């Protein structure tokens, strides 16, 4: 077989990596290269160097080391039985490509994942080697995210954490039955075992750094995971439950949701209809509710419809508020932060502003309007000095008043 | 008010002050001047701030009378100006904004802060909101500069990527942010020679010192870099056409930045091709709208028209299964062979004869069973006059699986015998090893019992001892199936 050029390999291996949702480069330890030989810095805030027409940020060089794979997971474009073109980078090529892009300010760093070649250990070794070349030989101080392989030797996974800013292992599917059916070669207990081990390593390294200033850092940006939405029959309630369990037991930084999207050469076991992208969006919103708004997972699940899925036409916070109308209206001049955060249309920033502003004056509806994006959404759920929603909060058609307008379908649309 | 303050005020009343700033982003200079003016109690409407390049004649019109360029001297014991931390951090950024009113706004805020030290907390105040807006757009502009500066390597005698390689970027910021962001690029590219050229001034770093120079033009910057081809192909490949969201892209990467980003040239084509690419991905395997046929006859007709995979165009015809409509046993092979393709019936060739013999020996009545294949078409390559059998790919088996499932839905067998690994995949959806799967029943989703054994064609390819050994295993598997079949037909499930 003819050798593929670097350009061809990049096309194949970037194409294969695009189903990973994460591209975050934030929240790691601060580094710069003023006292080093190489290049790179991370200053807390992630930087999106470009945006693709799918609206997703391009922050990292997100590629696979190889898309050859001995596993046969149905949802994956790289599964053994798929007919895609295959390619393979050497660790050195990955390192050079990363540096070439980094020097031109295209990227914040590298996100390296891989199909499984030969064995899990062999693959993990190659990935760690790419990170090692970058860190040790080129003194690269940018961001590195390594996807670790749950079946690999824990010692190799630990090494990955020493080189990387973030490590992640995909739980892939929200239910055990889904995993057994769609990813026959994967094992839930093994995946969660590896996540738990990484959590322990992170805690241990943090603890060591408290006592010894030069103790090595271990994945300072923590670990994350990804779940595929819409490839099996799991409902949003199942997914939210699983996510909150993952946050609780493994201290994950993020759970990413990836709406299953049609892949070329799809397996016959999969649904061919893609779930609406909006479903993924609603799940992220519910994730936000749990992380920044103080909602318990159970409360998010209360916002779901009878089929266990979040409504698509309105966001989960509004759905919750409409279900629990007895909690409203909330007095913007007196209510505590927790209650204000429950008002649809008020985010953490607006709530913070309201709390500081009301120290100076008793707020009128106009004042609240200046502090928020849209007062129309907020109005039915608050009282202010000159505003009482009276019957508005209890109107039966409140949902349709607040739901975003549906686009009128075109007559005669082809 | 104290007598001292009165005397200071008396001195400044009526006078206008015009302050000439040395640079449009010189916050430190503004701070020093503003501090003095506040201390002298010069009210905001008596001060004008003039950026370099402006004449300040706008001001001369209104107050020609008391115009003075020299700031007053504060009394030694007058109260020093005070500002909150929040004000300072906002003002530092807002001073970089391109709004010509920014310094006047900052001075007005500073003036008002003296009597109301907590004014910055009042987010409903118009001045406070305006300064927050300025701060926000400057921060955004800086962030976009960090993100969208694109260095190009300049050809250098030392060779590519050599120690002396020089990287040059062209960027057009909205505000006076260039100098303020020098530190970011210095910390990041500490050991690289680079220059950032902008219409608002340039930065040059040689690994040790930072040098500034005046405004540049786009033509001063290089116009290409071979690595850009790799970057563009990365950009095009990482884009997922199944999730087009142009609005989300535009809000974060407005078109004004596109002209200086090499990858942005691809965007129109990527968007135009996206729907077509997604549609073809879905169409490549689309099946969801198709209804399963109700009878074997309908199925036979439908399978004849199937063109879901390339094999369909290979042979003469599709070969349907045959046998009893409600057979308790379904026997599944791999695919029709040469003779099956010609006659249109399954298992009539050499392998079929071997199967018939083995079934008879095991006491299984073939006519009471339903016999079919995992694939309905013959896959082969032509060698002279002979058509040589080709092993189907997993993808082809999975595609044809829909037909096999349709047959199962109609025949509803209690026991299924899969001959060979391809048949097993067709039934299970995943590849299993024959060695581990044979001899042990697998319960399928519809409660049917699946037994996996070798394909009779495999036996045909062996000779001597190996053949005898495999034939014995094959016979043993069939015997087990026969036993289960008896148990089912006699109504006693074991």
State pLDDT tens for residues A365-395.
888 888 887 888 888 899 998 888 877 777 7
Q: pLDDT tens digits, residue range B83-111?
A: 989 999 999 999 999 999 999 999 999 99
- Structure confidence at residue B14 as a pLDDT band (50, 70, 90): low
Residue-wise burial string across B23-52, b where 16 or more C-beta atoms lie within 10 A, e elsewhere: ebbbbeebbebbbbbbbbbbebebbbbbbe
Residue of A nearest to B145 (CA): A49
Q: pLDDT tens digits, residue range B328-367?
A: 999 999 999 888 888 889 999 999 999 999 999 999 988 8
Q: Does B265 touch chain A (CB under 8 A)?
A: no
How many C-beta atoms surround the C-beta of residue B443 within 10 A?
A: 9
Residue A33 CB burial class (10 angstroms; 0-12, 13-18, ≥19): buried
Q: Measured between beta carbons, which residues in chain A are less than 8 angstroms from residue B243?
A: 54-56, 259, 261, 277
- Structure confidence at residue A82 as a pLDDT band (50, 70, 90): confident
Of A39, A81, A261, the CB nearest to B192: A39
Is pLDDT of B29 > 90? yes
Interchain pair B124, A82: CB under 8 A: no
Residue B346 pLDDT = 92
Residue A58 pLDDT = 93
Q: Which of B145, B152, B165, B237 to mutate to test the interface with A (most CBs of A within 10 A)?
A: B237
Interchain pair A265, B150: CB under 8 A: no
Mean local confidence (pLDDT), B192-210: 93
Is pLDDT of A412 > 50? no
Strands (E), A181-253: 223-229
Q: Does B252 touch chain A (CB under 8 A)?
A: yes
Is pLDDT of A1 > 60? no
Q: Which of B430, B431, B436, B437 to mutate to test the interface with A (most CBs of A within 10 A)?
A: B430
Is pLDDT of B309 > 80? no
Residue A261 pLDDT = 65
Tokens of B155: 């050809």
Is pLDDT of B310 > 80? no
Spatial contact of A222 and A253, defined as CB atoms under 8 Å apart? yes
Of B239, B285, B430, the CB nearest to A272: B285
Spatial contact of A101 and B227, defined as CB atoms under 8 Å apart? yes
Q: pLDDT tens digits, residue range B242-264?
A: 778 888 899 999 999 999 999 99
- Structure confidence at residue B55 as a pLDDT band (50, 70, 90): low
Q: Does B237 touch chain A (CB under 8 A)?
A: yes
Q: Does B57 touch chain A (CB under 8 A)?
A: no
Of the given ranges (A100-114, A118-132, A134-148, A347-361), which has the lowest mean pLDDT?
A347-361
Interchain pair B249, A52: CB under 8 A: yes
Strands (E), B61-209: 67-68, 151-154, 166-170, 193-197, 202-205
Of A12, A41, A81, the CB nearest to B187: A41
Q: Does B245 touch chain A (CB under 8 A)?
A: yes
Residue A187 pLDDT = 86
Interchain pair A49, B147: CB under 8 A: yes
Residue B288 pLDDT = 43
Interchain pair A371, B147: CB under 8 A: no
Is pLDDT of B284 > 60? no
B362 or B312: which carries more pLDDT confidence?
A: B362
Mean local confidence (pLDDT), A244-251: 88
Interchain pair A52, B402: CB under 8 A: no
User: How many CA atoms within 13 Å lie on the side-chain side of A320?
Assistant: 24
> In Å, how far is A373's CA from the nearest CA of chain B?
14
Interchain pair A53, B245: CB under 8 A: yes
Q: Which of B124, B262, B403 to mutate to test the interface with A (most CBs of A within 10 A)?
A: B124
Q: pLDDT tens digits, residue range B374-416?
A: 998 888 888 888 888 888 888 888 888 888 988 998 899 999 9
Give the integer Cα–Cα distance in Å for A155 and A159. Answer: 6
Interchain pair B189, A39: CB under 8 A: yes
What is the pTM assigned to this prediction? Answer: 0.74
Q: Measured between beta carbons, which residues in chain B are less than 8 angstroms from residue A258?
A: none
Residue of A nearest to B277 (CA): A264
Q: Does B450 touch chain A (CB under 8 A)?
A: no
Of the given ranges (A80-84, A116-120, A332-336, B229-233), which has the lowest mean pLDDT?
A80-84
Among residues of chain A, what percentage have pLDDT more than 70?
A: 93
Mean local confidence (pLDDT), B455-461: 90
> In Å, how far is A273's CA from the nearest CA of chain B?
8
Residue A398 pLDDT = 79
- Structure confidence at residue A63 as a pLDDT band (50, 70, 90): very high
Is pLDDT of B4 > 50? no
Interchain pair B267, A53: CB under 8 A: yes
Give the integer Cα–Cα distance in Å for A22 and A295. Answer: 24
Residue of B nearest to A64 (CA): B238
A275 or A85: which carries more pLDDT confidence?
A: A85
**Residue ranges of the alpha helices (H) in A259-414?**
277-292, 297-302, 316-323, 337-341, 348-357, 365-371, 375-378, 398-402
- Structure confidence at residue B312 as a pLDDT band (50, 70, 90): confident
Q: Does B401 touch chain A (CB under 8 A)?
A: yes
Residue B111 pLDDT = 94
SS3 B203: strand
How many C-beta atoms surround the C-beta of residue A249 within 10 A?
A: 12
Of B167, B186, B242, the CB nearest to A103: B167
Interchain pair A370, B123: CB under 8 A: yes
CB within 8 Å of B287: residues ≥ 6 apart: A268, A272, B308, B402
Of the given ranges (A410-414, B349-353, B376-380, B422-426), which has the lowest mean pLDDT?
A410-414
Give the integer Cα–Cα distance in Å for A18 and A94. Answer: 17
Of A14, A34, A356, the CB nearest to B123: A356
Q: Measured between beta carbons, which residues in chain B are less than 8 angstroms from residue A361?
A: 122, 124
> In Å, how far is A98's CA from the nearest CA of chain B?
11
Give the integer Cα–Cα distance in Å for B89 and B131. Answer: 11
Interchain pair A54, B398: CB under 8 A: no
Give the integer Cα–Cα distance in Å for A69 and B295. Answer: 40
Q: Does B210 touch chain A (CB under 8 A)?
A: no
Q: Does B258 touch chain A (CB under 8 A)?
A: no
Give the integer Cα–Cα distance in Å for A29 and A41. Answer: 10
> In Å, how far is B420's CA from the nearest CA of chain A?
17
Residue B490 pLDDT = 76
Mean local confidence (pLDDT), A194-221: 88
Task: Report the DSSP beta bridge partners of residue B152.
Answer: B168
Q: Does B116 touch chain A (CB under 8 A)?
A: no
> In Å, how far is B150's CA from the nearest CA of chain A?
6
The winner for highest mean pLDDT among A96-100, B48-52, B80-84, B151-155 is A96-100
Is pLDDT of B61 > 50? no
Tokens of B181: 């962001």
> What is the secondary structure of A250-273 as a DSSP string?
H--SEEEEEE----TT--TTS-SS
Q: Which of A24, A8, A109, A136 is nearest to A67 (CA)?
A: A8
Q: Which of B181, B172, B235, B233 is nearest to B210 (CA)?
A: B181
Q: Does B16 touch chain A (CB under 8 A)?
A: no
* ipTM (interface pTM): 0.84
Tokens of A314: 């309105």
> In Å, how far is B268's CA from the nearest CA of chain A?
9
Q: Measured between beta carbons, which residues in chain A are less than 8 angstroms from residue B282?
A: 262, 272
Distance from the Cα of residue B381 to its chain's centroid:
40
SS3 B333: strand
Mean local confidence (pLDDT), A130-149: 94
Is pLDDT of B5 > 60? no
Q: Does B283 touch chain A (CB under 8 A)?
A: no
- Structure confidence at residue A408 as a pLDDT band (50, 70, 90): very low
Q: pLDDT tens digits, residue range B153-167?
A: 986 655 445 567 899
Among residues of chain B, what percentage have pLDDT more than 70?
A: 87
């Amino acid at each position: 077989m003819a050798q593929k050029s670097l350009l061809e390999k990049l096309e194949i291996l970037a194409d294969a990596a695009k189903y990973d949702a994460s591209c975050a480069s934030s929240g790691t330890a601060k580094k710069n290269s003023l006292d080093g030989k190489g290049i790179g810095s991370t200053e807390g805030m992630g930087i999106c160097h470009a945006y693709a027409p799918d609206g997703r940020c391009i922050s990292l060089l997100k590629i696979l080391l190889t898309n050859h794979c001995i596993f046969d997971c149905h949802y994956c474009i790289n599964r053994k039985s798929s007919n895609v073109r295959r390619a393979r980078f050497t660790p050195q090529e990955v390192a050079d490509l990363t540096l070439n892009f980094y020097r031109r300010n295209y990227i914040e760093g590298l996100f390296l994942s891989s199909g499984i070649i030969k064995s899990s250990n062999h693959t993990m070794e190659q990935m760690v080697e790419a990170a090692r070349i970058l860190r040790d030989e080129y003194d690269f101080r940018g961001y590195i995210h390594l996807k670790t392989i749950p079946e690999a030797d824990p010692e190799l996974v630990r090494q990955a954490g020493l080189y990387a800013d973030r490590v992640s292992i995909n739980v892939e599917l929200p239910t055990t039955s889904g995993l057994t059916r769609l990813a026959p070669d994967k094992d839930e207990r093994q995946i969660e075992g590896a996540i738990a081990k990484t959590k322990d390593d992170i805690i241990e390294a943090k603890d060591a750094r408290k006592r010894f200033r030069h103790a090595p850092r271990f994945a300072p940006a923590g670990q994350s995971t990804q779940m595929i939405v819409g490839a099996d029959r799991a409902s949003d309630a199942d997914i939210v439950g699983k996510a909150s369990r993952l946050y609780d037991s493994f201290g994950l930084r993020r759970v990413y949701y990836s709406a299953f999207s049609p892949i070329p050469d799809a397996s016959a076991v999969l649904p061919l209809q893609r779930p609406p992208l909006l479903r993924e969006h609603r799940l992220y919103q519910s994730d936000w509710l749990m992380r920044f708004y103080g909602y318990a997972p159970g409360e998010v699940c209360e916002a779901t419809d009878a089929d266990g899925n979040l409504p698509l036409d309105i966001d989960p916070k509004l759905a919750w508020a409409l279900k629990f109308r007895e909690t409203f209206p909330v007095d913007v001049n007196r209510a505590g932060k927790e209650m204000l955060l429950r008002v649809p249309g008020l985010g953490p920033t607006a709530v913070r502003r309201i709390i500081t502003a009301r120290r100076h004056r008793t707020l009128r509806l106009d004042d609240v309007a200046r502090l928020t994006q849209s007062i129309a959404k907020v109005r039915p759920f608050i009282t202010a000095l000159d505003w009482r929603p009276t019957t508005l909060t209890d109107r039966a058609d409140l949902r349709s008043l607040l739901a975003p307008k549906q686009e009128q379908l075109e007559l005669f649309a082809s | 008010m104290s007598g001292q303050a009165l005397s200071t005020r008396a001195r400044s009343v009526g006078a206008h002050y015009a302050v000439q700033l040395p640079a449009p982003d010189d916050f430190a200079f503004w701070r020093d001047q503003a501090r003095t003016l506040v201390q002298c109690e010069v009210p905001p409407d008596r001060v004008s701030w003039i950026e370099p390049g402006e004449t300040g004649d706008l001001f001369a019109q209104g107050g020609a009378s008391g115009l003075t360029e020299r700031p007053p001297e504060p009394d030694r014991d007058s109260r020093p100006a005070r500002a909150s931390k929040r004000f300072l951090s906002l003002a530092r950024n807002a001073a970089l904004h391109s709004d010509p009113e920014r310094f006047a706004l900052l001075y007005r805020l500073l003036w008002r802060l003296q009597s109301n030290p907590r004014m910055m907390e009042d987010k409903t105040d118009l001045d406070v909101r305006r300064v927050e807006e300025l701060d926000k757009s400057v921060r955004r502009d800086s962030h976009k500069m960090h993100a969208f500066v694109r260095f190009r390597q300049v050809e250098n005698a030392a060779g590519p990527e050599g120690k002396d390689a020089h990287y040059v970027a062209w960027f057009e910021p909205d505000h006076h942010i260039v100098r303020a962001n020098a530190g970011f690029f210095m910390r990041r590219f500490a050991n690289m020679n680079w220059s950032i050229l902008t219409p608002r001034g340039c930065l040059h770093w040689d690994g040790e010192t930072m040098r500034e120079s005046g405004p540049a033009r786009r033509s001063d910057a290089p116009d290409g870099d071979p690595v850009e081809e790799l970057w563009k192909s990365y950009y095009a490949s990482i884009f997922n056409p199944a999730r087009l969201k142009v609005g989300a892209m535009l809000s974060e990467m407005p078109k004004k930045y596109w002209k200086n980003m090499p990858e942005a040239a691809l965007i129109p084509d990527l968007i135009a091709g996206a729907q077509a690419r997604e549609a073809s991905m879905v169409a490549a395997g689309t099946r969801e709208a198709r209804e399963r046929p109700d009878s074997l006859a309908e199925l036979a007709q439908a399978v004849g028209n199937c063109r879901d995979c390339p094999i369909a165009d290979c042979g003469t015809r599709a070969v349907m299964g045959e046998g009893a409509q409600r057979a308790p046993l379904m026997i599944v092979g791999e695919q029709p062979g040469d003779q099956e393709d010609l006659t249109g019936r399954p298992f009539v060739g050499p392998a079929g004869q071997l199967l018939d013999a083995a079934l008879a020996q095991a006491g299984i009545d073939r006519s009471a069973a339903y016999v079919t294949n995992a694939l309905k078409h013959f896959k082969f390559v032509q060698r002279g006059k002979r058509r040589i059998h080709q092993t189907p790919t997993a993808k082809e088996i999975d595609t044809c699986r829909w037909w096999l499932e349709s047959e199962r839905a109609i025949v509803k067998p209690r026991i299924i015998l899969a001959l060979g690994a391809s048949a097993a995949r067709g039934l299970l959806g995943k590849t299993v090893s024959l060695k581990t799967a044979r001899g042990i029943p697998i319960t399928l989703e519809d409660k049917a019992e699946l037994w996996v054994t070798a394909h009779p064609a495999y036996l045909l390819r062996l000779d001597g001892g190996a053949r005898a050994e495999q034939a014995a295993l094959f016979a043993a598997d069939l015997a087990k199936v026969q036993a289960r079949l008896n148990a089912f037909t006699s109504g006693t499930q074991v």
